[in-house]
Amino acid sequence: MAITRFAPSPTGYLHIGGLRTSLYSYLWARKTGGEFRLRVEDTDTARNNEDAMEAIINAFEWVGLNYDGEVFYQSKRTDVYKIYIDKLLESGKAYKCYMSKDELDALRARQEAAKQSPRYDGTWRPEEGKVLPPIPEGVEPVIRIKAPTIGTIEFDDGVKGYMKFDANQVDDYVIARSNGMPTYNFVVAIDDALMGMTDVIRGDDHLSNTPKQIVIYNALGFEVPKFYHVAMINNPSGKKLSKRDGAMDVMDYKRLGYLPEALLNFLVRLGWSHGDQEIFSMEEMLELFDPTNLNKSASSFNAEKLLWLNSEYIKAVSNDRLIEELKFFDIDLSHHPKRTELLDLSKQRAQTLVEMKKSITDILDVPSFYEESGVKKFVKEDTKAFLEKYINLLEKNKDDLYDVTKVEDITKPFIAENGLKFPQLFQPIRIALTGGTQAPSVYDIIAILGFNEVSSRLETALKRNFQNT
């Protein structure tokens, strides 16, 4: 039984890398009958943003990754952290450091000048037989962990395999600032231990933090969880993913017209696979996912793949679901008599809900503008004559126009009898009915709109001679 977590900092939106990490953690917890928890790492009060926190919660609700219990806020646990800081001080595994900022800056400058990695030099570290400097007046100390100076820090990573760090790579880092506020690596280790985390799945940008956190685990006698450090998501060029490439707010994907199932399906495949299968339901993800099968190498964000997946999900979900989703885009087909026909028609062509809305409104809205290039190409001197004849044909059969097949049955002979080619008739009709040349089948549009609306739009276009002024 795995207990996992996702632990964002509320300093910005939830991006897709974070959502992928939370998805992996969610799947592993649910598959094993464990728990998936949400913890907010908000101890950096200067950078916290309430709107960002709300956006993170909203993103989880949208994609349906339900977490167990209440949201866990680190900012409300400072008393707990102080208990463990005091324990470390009392046991001699942490100590007070009175080195000022100026002294630290000077130390760093000397180390950089000597081409050394900047690290604390242990001035205030208590050692047997060592005489510490006099405590300066007016300096509030920080608390530093007493890290091991010899040996190694080792752990078996579920993705990267056996990891080994020389202990001297971890210096006596600060676990509590001079104002008493604990630092990131300290509170992460405390909370993961106290929340009973068995498995920590996170991006491999946290790999360097792991030895520091293991120092805390060992100092307090906590059991070290299983770590899985997931390779990053790159852009198609192999560079860090930028907002332009897709690293934007998860909720931006909703605003762009993606379904949450499509986004989760896309993300689960960025670092994990099951044969050649591309489309996974949540049930299949839960059945098949195992973090030990995560890829060691970085994955590439493929916007075309995401669009394809989204189009497949749009085709697959029910029309009732699409009606509800489209309400977010200010279009409500709940009571439209032709809602089924509109949805069945538009979802075959749309890659996103935004495109689907446009396809629907292109049909339902009376055009205010005619595509000039289309008019120039398809509206000729004889167009008015055969369109007027076609309107008369539609009027004679107006009671049958609700059926696409019957519209086709009366139109094909008309084209043949008048010596026309299909584009000669259909493209002027498309322009008159929708304003453009890329709309769906004319037969479908006529069946949806009915005779009165079709004849009105055709007659208007003819009166205006398809002109916009």
3 state SS of 200: strand
Residues linked to residue 164 through DSSP beta bridges, in sequence order? 154
CB under 8 A, 24+ apart: contacts of 376-385: 377/427, 378/423, 378/424, 378/427, 378/428, 378/431, 378/437, 379/428, 379/431, 379/466, 380/424, 383/424, 383/428, 384/462, 384/465
CA-CA-CA-CA torsion sign (311, 31, 211, 185): positive
Which of 87, 240, 243, 327 is catalytic? The answer is 243
| DSSP string over 218-238 | HHHTPPPPEEEEEPPEE-TTS
Residues linked to residue 35 through DSSP beta bridges, in sequence order? 3
Residue 72 C-alpha from the chain's centroid: 22
The Cα 367–Cα 183 span in angstroms is 60
Residue 397: both structure tokens together: 């059969």
Nearest to 392 by CA among 451, 435, 463: 451
Nearest to 462 by CA among 389, 365, 401, 410: 389
The residue with tokens 């584009």 is 423
Question: Is residue 96 marked as binding?
Answer: no
To 10 degrees, the CA torsion angle through 206, 209, 211, 217? -100
Residue pair 155/224 in contact by the 8 Å Cβ criterion: yes
Residue 435: both structure tokens together: 């304003």
Give the max Cα distance, the chain. Answer: 110
Query: Is residue 362 within a helix (H) or strand (E), and if so which, with residue range?
Result: helix 353-364
Residue pair 165/154 in contact by the 8 Å Cβ criterion: yes
Q: Residue 320 CB: number of other CB atoms within 10 A?
A: 11
The Cα 297–Cα 305 span in angstroms is 19
96 is catalytic: no
- For residue 20, the 8-state DSSP code is H
- For residue 76, the 8-state DSSP code is G
Residue pair 94/88 in contact by the 8 Å Cβ criterion: yes
Contacts of residue 453, defined as CB under 8 A and 6 or more positions apart, other chains included, come to none
The Cα 310–Cα 375 span in angstroms is 33
Query: Is residue 410 within a helix (H) or strand (E), and if so which, with residue range?
Result: helix 404-417
Detail the residues annotated as belonging to a binding site for ATP: 243
Feature table: binding site: 243
Give catalytic residues, as residue numbers. 243
